[in-house]
Amino acid sequence: MYLNLVEIAESFGVAERVVEDWIRDEGLPHVPDRGRLLFDRARVVQWATEHGLAARAGFLAPENAAFKTGFALGPMLRAGGIWRDVPAGGVIGVLERVIGSLAGVPGPVRALLAQRLKSDGGVNWAPVGLGFALPHFSTRVTLGPGGGVVALVLLRDALPVAEAPADLVPVRRLFFFVPPSPRAHLDTLGRLSRAIVRGPLRDAVEKGAADEEVFRALDAADASGGTGQESGDPS
């Protein structure tokens, strides 16, 4: 799994220039690709361990780690819903509807979030490969305890993104999220990315399973600490 500069910076909780300094001064493994920087997740994890950066989060969280922020993604997806056969040009409209339906969020806050959706650079689309992306607000936005939301958007056609995924598979499946807390932001990134790499959630989405089957698959990922595998499964 390859990550881009923004995703690496988010996972370590540092500015992008810090990551660039690590490349220059500390030998952080990277791959130049058509004017951008890509990072092999496994090599970065090894480098981080060797440099004493063992507290990893987000995309770099240990794959077998149980989640620690005390919230479940399954109810968040039920709140945001599954949106099917959406044209790429209609994605922002769908995300506006998700934001507009948030229970317990004051109207002015919903209006501000909708404005950010439409602003230049307001959303980090975060393509992660295998045809998936994890869009979220570029500036850290949280909804408070019990207020997080995840929405699965299944596209009719490929989404044009500024940062193409490393595997060049067109993006047609989006897990948009707004977490309940700042700490949960990185946790959500990590748990969703791991569930996409392998497990029943990815399988259910790729085969176009019914909503309830997708919900159950994410419930299983919650129960297994984000991997979607049964405890004790060696794979």
Among 12, 29, 60, residue at a domain's last position = 60
In a domain, 158, yes or no: yes
Q: pLDDT at position 58, please?
A: 62
Supply the range of the domain harboring residue 43: 2-60
1 DSSP assignment: -
In a domain, 231, yes or no: no
Q: pLDDT at position 216, please?
A: 94
The SS3 of residue 68 is coil
Per-residue pLDDT of the chain (235 residues; tens, 9 = 90+): 788 888 888 777 777 888 898 898 889 999 988 888 888 888 888 888 777 664 455 666 655 444 455 678 999 999 999 999 999 999 999 999 999 988 778 888 888 899 999 998 899 898 888 899 999 998 877 787 777 899 999 999 999 988 777 788 999 999 999 988 877 888 888 889 888 887 899 999 999 999 999 999 999 988 876 544 443 443 3
**What would the DSSP string read from start to end of 175-232?**
EEEE-SSHHHHHHHHHHHHHHHHSSHHHHHHHTT--HHHHHHHHHHHHHTTSS-S-TT
- The CATH number assigned to the domain holding 37 equals 1.10.10.10
Q: Of the candidates 60, 196, 201, which has an alpha carbon nearest to the alpha carbon of residue 129? A: 196
Same domain, 120 and 214: yes
Same domain, 56 and 78: no
Q: pLDDT at position 59, please?
A: 67
How many structural domains comprise the chain? 2
Same domain, 105 and 151: yes
- The CATH number assigned to the domain holding 120 equals 3.40.930.10
Q: pLDDT at position 235, please?
A: 36
What is the chain's alpha carbon radius of gyration, rounded to the nearest angstrom? 17
